[in-house]
Structure 1
Amino acid sequence: MSRFVCLAMILLLSAAIAVSAKPHEVYNKELAGQKAQECKTETGATDEEVESMMKHEPADSHESKCLRACMMKKFSFMDDAGKLSKEHALELVKLMSKDDADKEAAGAEIIDTCETIEVPEDHCDAAVAYQSCFLEHMQEHGLALDEH
């Protein structure tokens, strides 16, 4: 479950991308790092902004926000309209919960809640809004972010 939110933040955390990792692909730190470098180039973000994102720190520039939106799109959490892709998010939650029904249920509840929030039209700002929602509701469920 926590890996889902990490992706979502990295995700937000994380533009229409030609090459896209799908939730059914195995997520790992190497893949996240590769996608982060692609997004860094695409958004004009700095190495420091990539590092900050990987540490789940707040975005402090437009490029940093767009880095998160790019990552969300790379992992299919955000669609081309800038909205949360519930279907893909739920697929990943199921994979990441590793048959832990409580984590899967909490993840699904967080996705249901965050899918309904009003987000700005700007995809970069929308990514940050989703990130904030995920973090807030993770804390409510007692879930922690893993460092990846």
Structure 2
Amino acid sequence: MSPYTCLFATLLVAVAVSGAPHEDLSKEHAAEVAQECKTETGASDEEVQHMLQHEPTESHEGKCLRACMMKKFEIMDDAGKLSKEHALELIKHISKDDAEKESAGAEIVEKCEAIEVPEDHCDAAAAYESCFMEHLHEHGLSLAEI
């Protein structure tokens, strides 16, 4: 399961071009990172489960859980902005050489990078998540497919 599967389930929708977060992408790794973020943000087990099941959250802790995941996987930078480069690398990694999915993912990243997001990183993560989910749906994709 990708971070987006786990985060956006996230993220997303997070990825270093040459360094590691996306190279060690697995359901188990994402769950480990989610537990780290749970501790850091004060999120509940229920909020972790909502994230892992692609369910939106309204709680601030749940949103911060997503922001933490996005930062750990480098989808969101320290300024609370989407890292286009890392998001594209993630899409490439999780699309498994499917050119159509990679192309749709790149288009989604472009659109979501361009949105205005709140200054609060937790709220920004929720806005990015919402954007990705909306555009995945428009392309007939689900997180599990990418």
> Would you call these one fold, judging by a TM-score over 0.5?
yes
The count of residues paired between Structure 1 and Structure 2 equals 140
Q: What is the alpha-carbon root mean square deviation over aligned residues?
A: 2.0
Q: Secondary structure at the match of 1:78?
A: coil
Partner of 2:134: 136
Instruction: Report runs of 4+ in structure 1 exceeding 6 Å deviation.
Output: none
Report which structure shows greater RCO (CA 8 Å, sep ≥6). Answer: 1
Q: Secondary structure at the match of 2:116?
A: coil
CA separation of 1:4 and 1:137: change in aligned 2, threshold 3 A: farther
CA separation of 1:40 and 1:65: change in aligned 2, threshold 3 A: same
Q: Secondary structure at the match of 1:9?
A: coil
- Structure 1 unaligned residues grouped into runs of 5+: 15-19
TM-score, reference length from structure 2: 0.88
Deviation at 1:4, TM superposition (A): 6.0
**More displaced, 85-94 or 112-121?**
85-94
Paired residues for 1:1-148 under 5 Å? 3=2, 5-7=4-6, 9-11=8-10, 13=12, 22-23=21-22, 25-146=23-144
CA separation of 1:140 and 1:4: change in aligned 2, threshold 3 A: farther
What is the CA–CA distance in structure 1 between the aligned matches of 2:119 and 2:10, rounded to whole Å?
17
TM-score, reference length from structure 1: 0.87
CA-to-aligned-CA distance 1:120-146 (integer Å, 9 cap, x gap): 000000000000000100011000122
Identity %: 66
Q: Secondary structure at the match of 1:34?
A: helix
